[in-house]
Structure 1
Amino acid sequence: MPTSQQIAELKAKLQNVIFEKEPDDTVVVLTAPGNRIGLLQRSVAERLTNDGRFADDFALRGDSLVVFPKIKTPDPQALTEAFARVARPLHDAGYFVQWRDELLNVFDLDSGHCIALAERGLFRFLGMLTTSVYAVGTRRDGRVFVSLRSRTKQVDPGLWDALAAGMISANESRETAVEREIAEEAGLTCGYTIDSGWTCLKVRRTVPEGWMAEDAYVCRVIVDDTVTPRNVDGEVEEIQCVTKDDLFVMIERGLTPVDTGLVFLNSLL
């Protein structure tokens, strides 16, 4: 079993990776009514505002990039329609690569309120906040489930993840999201209980697509001995059950995604 000092040192190492200081060369992304919704490199903001195709959609004002400046009052429907209108043209123009065909909530970063819905692919590009769920699955004897991410996944392929994890979709509660992810990734609709309350891991770091701002909500799930998790959606290649000692070694060797490693350490060790 790793010592408390070894665990603390590994936690600190991973925390330094997932929570970075905001880069100096960034601008805040605002809506015209003044909602702070994201973070973007100044060079990208300048490119957007100089692109005639989006002249009516983005305006650089000092240290802020205003999106949809003609929408002057808080209007979730108008903002949602505006995001829908520009998403495909921005993708086609190469501003972001991954098209997900999935809507997520756009949050006001100060109030935490949802102010619109937008295509998932926009979020890292504009540095907007996403929310996700992690189900840390264990047997009653304390062994931990780890799921091998498909080698075809665009993010962290071939690494060992939690039993189930994924984004919270638009207008979805975290409880509904975690049940959906457990059903899709572990094939379980019953035979498990949620053993603890929710904790939140905040991720803030630079990624190839832009800026990752994510609040990851974590729960612990006890899986009955009478059921065996099996992947359904093709995003997981295999599911194993390992001891906590083995799990620590896997995290230490970089065999888990960085954020998942910290989720495991905070939840179990």
Structure 2
Amino acid sequence: MEKASVSHMSTRLTLPNRTSTFPQFKHPTSFITFPNPTPLRLRRLNCSAPDGAVPSSSLAVKKKAAEVSPELKGTSIFLVGMKSSLKTSLGKLLADALRYYYFDSDSLVEEAVGGALAAKSFRESDTKGFYESETEVLKQLSSMGRLVVCVGNGAVTSSTNLALLRYGISLWIDVPLDFVARDVIEDQSQFAPSEISISGSYPELKDELGALYDKHRDGYATADATISVQKVASRLDCDKLDEITREDLALEALREIEKLTRVKKMMEEAARPF
């Protein structure tokens, strides 16, 4: 297999108007299409709403998003943290509520280098090169607006990538390692063998995930705000972390975004000459 390289990333990402069916990633010889974020109907685990009914928590997310949008002014949102299905679902829900586009930076790198298998081989043989490819993707994404982007660990491993995240609002989605471990067991392709080994026992997997978490913790902590599943559960008096829904996290994220936009507005007003 021909070794992938950063030269694959020399193209530009282009997004049509939201009324179009698909945003597109332009490849030298073809167009790779990514679906628009689809409306999500997510309910609490103990919700008894009839089929077809939209839970009140989903309506609350849309209402809060409508309140935040005017001050957000199309600023993109970057989600950092350990890869997990909860982080992905949260990103898609935020994109849907804000009427943004959703992207996963690792998925874009995969498409650019020839698919998931090629990207897997690339990352295993040249982790640094894979992260450099992610930098090229981030350069393009950071120049756009109205995006929610789930970024990989490569986004927090260099000062260049961290600087690119400053073009938007970055949120650290702090998910318990038990959640991440369950995802890894269900989908073993989430992490490269160079990052963790999936051949050991569950406690060994947890230990490896913990080491990976500690390795990138300082990078995660540079985010503008942290959305912690454990803290949200504590604030809502939930006995079990599994009771926390994506709507709960989305509301927390939107509140943090609202705080950040207010602070920015105050700083801009304070800087205006009399």
Instruction: Give the TM-score, by structure 1 length.
Output: 0.23
Whose radius of gyration is greater, 1 or 2?
1
Bigger fraction of residues in helix: 2
Structure number with the bigger relative contact order (C-alpha 8 A, sep ≥ 6) is 2
